[in-house]
Amino acid sequence: MILHKNSLSWRLLKHFLLIGGSVFSLIAVILYFFSINFANLAVEQSMFGMAEDIQTNLEFDNRSQLIYKPERVAERWGYDALYNNLGFRVIDLSTQQELVRSFVNPNITTIIDTLPATLPEGYSQIAARNDTHTDLFRIIFILDNKNLALDLARNDLLGALANEAVMPVLSQVASLTIGAAFLVFVCVTFISIRALVRPVKNVTTQLLQIKPNQLDRRLSTTGVPAEILPLVLGLNEAMERVEQGFEEQKRFVANAAHELRTPLAILSTRVELTEIPPEVEPALMGDIKYMSRVIEQLLDLSRAQNQVGFTHSLVDLKDIGKDVCMLLGPLSVTHQKELSLEVIDQSCDVLGDKGALIILTKNLLENALKYADKHAQVQLIITKNTLSIKDSGPGISEGDRVKLFERFWRKEQSALTGSGLGLSIVSEIANAHNADIDVLCNNDLGGATFTITFNAMP
């Protein structure tokens, strides 16, 4: 998928990446601040759990003395081995007497010895030596009708140890997880955007496939999202109006040309029967013939556009070439041009309308015979599926090439030697036969070459 700055895909991708980047950055920041206070956040919950475990292992013996009977070896070892960093005590709240503690040795100071007599219920902290602190947790409970307080103390060195042990791993796991999740997000975003813009691309592809002679085609609305459906329907309605306008224009041209044929025929007859000064008559008759030719070509153009009377069947291009060369033989003599026919392939059958193909070939040859230099060579070359008209005339400039098939365009606009419709008719007939027109401005003879290539009919 190629992304352009102004494309919908690029805009969607930028927004998705901006949103995704913001979300993942926020997650990273939250994890960072969480990791900084990881020990403090974990201590309170862990100490609460430890205090509950201790409470469940407290009981009074038959001498009414409170004893601690841990079931797990780790609990028995931990409080004895880590007496300076971890410990607990149980106090009778009614007498403020200490009933039991985790480690007893009169010769050693433990963490419990540093605690004040009274503590608030729940989690708290007190300062310790060497810029450290002690985490405290007190729970109050009743055992054998006695109101007791369990104080649990832990030096923050254990929390720092946990941070040093856990945080690097946690940071690596978090970084890898966020990075992998972001990559997955980018991939999913890319795939999603492709799926989102695919209907728009499908509509664009359909539009590009509509040729000038296919105004009856419409855009498919199958699978088009509701957001762009009004646009597609609007385009279809616009194409409907264009088709109707074009059809009206073609009908008008055909009707006008048809209606003008009779008045021109009457005018020509009257001129012939009327005594007109000899110096005026040739010019007048020339103008009438010119107008008659324009009308005939307008009718040919209308028929080609509407394909009126076209009957597609197998047509031998060799026969077309022979017929047209015989028809235009006198014209080549009049214009002092050398007309020749060259057939390269013997099998030259194409699917088309014979009459229309004769008009196409005749117009191209007529153009070459009229506008090539005096004594120029004009060749009609026929292959399996092509017609080529090649001359040794002056050739065609690149500036004129783009205007060749425009209606009523002539190189010498002031001269009335042609109507400017001949090549337009050629273009319409070629389109009706699914044929391509290639124009070589300067060939090996010094003139131009027009090649009509017939493709398979759709």
Same domain, yes or no: 269 and 187: no
| Cα separation, 113 vs 117, whole angstroms | 10
Tell me the per-residue pLDDT of 106-124, one tens digit each, with 9 for 90 and over: 777 788 888 888 889 988 8
- The tokens for 194 are 């492709």
We report the CATH number of the domain holding residue 384 as 3.30.565.10
Same domain, yes or no: 226 and 204: no
Same domain, yes or no: 295 and 378: no
394 touches 373 (CB < 8 A): yes
Same domain, yes or no: 12 and 150: yes
Q: In b/e form, how buried is each residue of 364-403, taking b as 16+ CB within 10 angstroms? A: bbbbbbebbeeebbbbbbbbebbbbbbbbbebbeeeeeee
Same domain, yes or no: 94 and 131: yes
Amino acid sitting at position 394: P
Same domain, yes or no: 419 and 285: no
**Last residue in a domain, options 209, 234, 254:** 209
Same domain, yes or no: 118 and 31: yes
Same domain, yes or no: 333 and 388: yes
Helices (H) and strands (E) in the chain, counts: 10, 14
Same domain, yes or no: 63 and 177: yes
Tell me the per-residue pLDDT of 219-256, one tens digit each, with 9 for 90 and over: 888 878 777 788 888 888 888 888 787 777 667 666 66
Same domain, yes or no: 15 and 40: yes
| Cα separation, 221 vs 381, whole angstroms | 46
**Last residue in a domain, options 209, 229, 248:** 209
Same domain, yes or no: 192 and 281: no
| Cα separation, 113 vs 306, whole angstroms | 109
pLDDT of residue 227: 76
| Cα separation, 47 vs 123, whole angstroms | 8
pLDDT of residue 415: 47
We report the CATH number of the domain holding residue 230 as 1.10.287.130
**Terminal alpha carbon distance of the chain:** 30
**What does the DSSP assignment read for 108-130?**
S--GGGGS-S---SEEEEEE-ST
Same domain, yes or no: 254 and 141: no
| Cα separation, 35 vs 168, whole angstroms | 10
pLDDT of residue 38: 59
Report the number of distinct structural domains present in the chain. 3
Q: In b/e form, how buried is each residue of 257-287, taking b as 16+ CB within 10 angstroms? A: beebeeeeeeebeeeeeeeeeeeeeeeeeee
> 290-293, long-range: CB within 8 Å, 24+ apart, which pairs?
290/416, 290/419, 291/260, 291/264, 292/261, 292/264, 292/265, 292/268, 293/419
pLDDT of residue 414: 40
Boundaries of domain holding 277: 215-308
| Cα separation, 431 vs 301, whole angstroms | 12
**Last residue in a domain, options 192, 209, 226:** 209
| Cα separation, 128 vs 110, whole angstroms | 13
Q: Which residues of the chain have pLDDT under 70?
A: 1-11, 31-43, 71-83, 129-131, 157-167, 170, 212-213, 249-250, 252-262, 297, 301-309, 411-419, 457-458
| Cα separation, 376 vs 431, whole angstroms | 30
